[in-house]
Structure 1
Amino acid sequence: MPDVMFTGPEGRLEGRYHQSKEEHAPIALILHPHPQYGGTMNHKVVFTLFHVFVNRGFSVLRFNTRGVGRSQGRFDNGMGELSDAAAALDWLQTMNADAKSCWIAGYSFGAWIGMQLLMRRPEIDCFVSVAPPANSYDFGFLAPCPSSGLIVGAEKDEVVPLVDIQKLVARLSLQKGITVESRTIKGANHFFHDTLDKLAVDVDKYVAKCLINPPGRATSNKEP
């Protein structure tokens, strides 16, 4: 799992990259939680998601947004981090020009960034959002949500109440052309202490199913 450095909007960005040995392997970009609360690419939830995709034969990149670890720049309240994510996806696609599909996965703040990137990049086929902060960030931009995906909530989340995640799922599930599935990890708190294995199993089952039977996509145009 080599360390990589690539160019972002405000300088170099630091990442960890796994190159699949499979021809035309799918790709996945993993986004970390809020950097001002200790979020980095080495967070255990990010690490767990990373290895779910590695084990399913993907080429996978996780990285530090600006100002985190060895990544240059300063925290930018989400706008700059979204630009960093776009640069990371560009790099990942350059390394895998013939990838058969493209996924994005994010945890907490990273889920919010990932869903915004989803609206801007029509090549993203599917998403995984873990504990999306629906209580503290506006997800109204998902109108409509352009791709199918999985939203995972924690039963005992003390940061993002499960009811707020369920409301987000219900709203997205009304849209035509896509399927938004949800899972609740029993006994889990926001940080998934002692429940990472359960999280990995549920995400892995979803990824495996979608590789066999790709889910639907909305027919309307995404944002430019």
Structure 2
Amino acid sequence: MGSRFEKICFGGKSRNIDCAIEWPLGEILGLALVLHPHPLYGGSRDNKIVTTVASECSDRGLVSVRPNFRGVGKSDGAFDNAIGETEDMLYLLSQIHLIYPELSKLPIMLAGFSFGSAVAAQVYSSLLHNNKYSLYKSLILIGSAVHRFEFKKVSLPDNSLIIHGEDDEVVPFDELLEWIRPKSLPIVMIPSCTHFFHGRLLILRRIVASYLSINVSSSC
């Protein structure tokens, strides 16, 4: 489909939130917030998994927003263990709707990789109970570390897409399985795949594409 690229700094509670936005060239169906891995270990909005997911989202008609968390790029502040980052993302969405009112009535898709998955899950849970926002009842968690940064109990939709590598060296697969088992949610496990999906990006993109083809076309 193609996209138009933009960089913008949004004001967030006395700090800047540095964002990259990909605008679909065709019909806009919604907004995707795609969140990056741990900022203290080199995570940024330019992470290859984040850009891959964001690109697929924009190809599916979603305006893809990739923010830098606190202390990364031109984003102000310091790492806050997902608490402040979640607050920032909620404020960011309000700013996006203020600046781009044409997006305010469209549903939001949340996605995150590693640490970003924890923030995405917390944001989803917060928005789920906020009648101000329209949500796709779906959530994409890749190399999920939600349980490591769960400062409030999260709500995960029944159709959550949880993708994990068999050989994940950062968040071992067995650790994720132990957390997800009580929730009775399926996991898409990619064999012989590490945390950073080396050599598996095309597989990852195909999985995300298949999921979006069903959920983005569905009514929120």
Asked if 1:152 corresponds to 2:163, the answer is: yes
Normalised by the length of structure 2, the TM-score is: 0.85
**1:52 corresponds to which residue?**
56
Aligned residues with identical type, % of pairs: 29
Unmatched runs of 5 consecutive residues or more in structure 2: 129-133
Aligned residues of 2:28 and 2:62 also touching (Cα < 8 A): no
8 Å CA contact 1:27–1:92 kept in 2: the answer is: no
Give the match for residue 136 of structure 1: 148
RMSD of Structure 2 on Structure 1 (CA) = 2.1
CA-to-partner distance for each residue in 1:194-219, whole Å, 9 max, x for gaps? 1111111111111112234458xxxx
Contact 1:24 1:98 in 2 (8 A): no
Alignment of structure 1 residues 189-200 onto 2, 5 Å:
189-200=194-205
* 1:18-57 to 2 correspondences below 5 Å: 18-57=22-61
Indicate which of 9, 29, 33 corresponds to 2:13: 9
Amino acid at match of 1:116: Q
User: Which residue in 2 is equivalent to 1:172?
Assistant: 183
Counterpart code for 2:31:
I
TM-score by length of 1: 0.84
CA change 1:57–1:65 in 2 (3 A) is same
Question: Can you list the C-alpha shifts for 1:18-56, whole angstroms capped at 9, x where unaligned?
Answer: 223444521100111110010100011111111110111
Matching residue's letter, 2:21: Y
CA–CA separation in structure 2 for the residues paired with 1:89 and 1:148: 23
Residues 1:106 and 2:112 aligned together = yes
Shift of 1:169: 3.2
Instruction: Please give the per-residue CA displacement for 1:137-183, whole angstroms capped at 9, x wherever unaligned.
Output: 448712x535642111111101111122223333223xxxxxx4421
Partner SS for 1:2: strand
Letter in 2 for 1:186: P
SS of 1:190's partner is: coil
Shift of 1:4: 0.9
Query: 2:214 is aligned with what amino acid?
Result: K
1:138/1:72 CA distance change after superposition, 3 Å = closer
Q: Given residue 75 of structure 1, which amino acid in structure 2 is its aligned partner?
A: F
Secondary structure at the residue paired with 1:152? strand
Identify the residue that residue 91 of structure 2 maps to in structure 1.
87
**Distance in 2, Cα, partners of 1:140 & 1:172:** 16
Question: Quick check: 1:135–1:164 contact (8 Å CA) kept in 2?
Answer: no
Bigger mean CA offset, 45-54 vs 10-19: 10-19
1:67 pairs with 2:79: no
Identify which of 180, 187, 210 aligns with 1:205: 210
What residue number does 1:183 align with? 188
Distance of aligned partners of 1:30 and 1:111 in 2 relative to their CA distance in 1, 3 Å threshold: same
Q: Distance in 2 between the 1:210 and 1:111 partners?
A: 18
